[in-house]
Amino acid sequence: MAKLKIPTRVANGFDHSTPNERGYVNVVENLILKPQKYLEFLAADEDERADLLQKAAGFEQDGVTPCVIFQELRDDTKVPIDEDNCIIKSEKDKKKRPNSNKPAKFTMPLPDKPPADVDYLHKYAEIIHTLYGQGTAASKKRAHKFMFGMMLLTRCR
């Protein structure tokens, strides 16, 4: 399983070590919080979803430059996702029925190799800290959207 990331755009390309706050928020606003787009994504074929997701990442502040979702390959190279190189499987979470005798099922994605530490998440935490530090209701709401997008695409790791 690939993890997907939206890096920050810099003058000569992308800084893959710095998450793009706007891109993650855009995915949540344009895909998850719009019921029609959410249902369209679920109904799409697996090979069509990468393009839908890439479109949901939206644009940078200038409204012209696209935010780009990348996948990391085994050799640590990063390539933008599209319908030719990324199949996205997706299904709604299912909760256990009350009073069911069957055990609940939970799929927990694990990293391909255990990390030595989890300090690589510091830039994600800094974004959330900055947004919460502003203290406004709008900045906190943005932090929630960023965090949801981060968990959705990177699968919490």
* Average pLDDT rounded to a whole number, residues 103-130: 88
* Average pLDDT rounded to a whole number, residues 23-41: 97
Query: What strands lie across the sheet with 4-5, from one edge to the other?
Result: 4-5, 70-72, 78-80
Whole-angstrom distance, CA of residue 16 vs CA of residue 157: 15
DSSP alpha helix (H) spans, the chain: 21-27, 35-43, 49-56, 122-134, 137-154
* Average pLDDT rounded to a whole number, residues 116-140: 94
Q: What is the pLDDT of residue 114?
A: 87
Q: What is the pLDDT of residue 110?
A: 80
pLDDT for residue 147 is more than 50: yes
Strands 70-72 and 7-10, bridge-based pairing: unpaired
Q: Give the Cβ contact number of residue 127 at 10 Å.
A: 21
Q: What is the pLDDT of residue 46?
A: 95
Average pLDDT over the chain, rounded to an integer: 92
pLDDT for residue 2 is more than 80: no
pLDDT for residue 156 is more than 70: no
| pLDDT 10s digits, 38-67 | 999 999 999 999 999 999 999 999 999 999
pLDDT for residue 1 is more than 60: no
* Average pLDDT rounded to a whole number, residues 107-112: 80
Lowest mean pLDDT of 10-19, 26-35, 108-117, name the range.
108-117
pTM of the model: 0.91
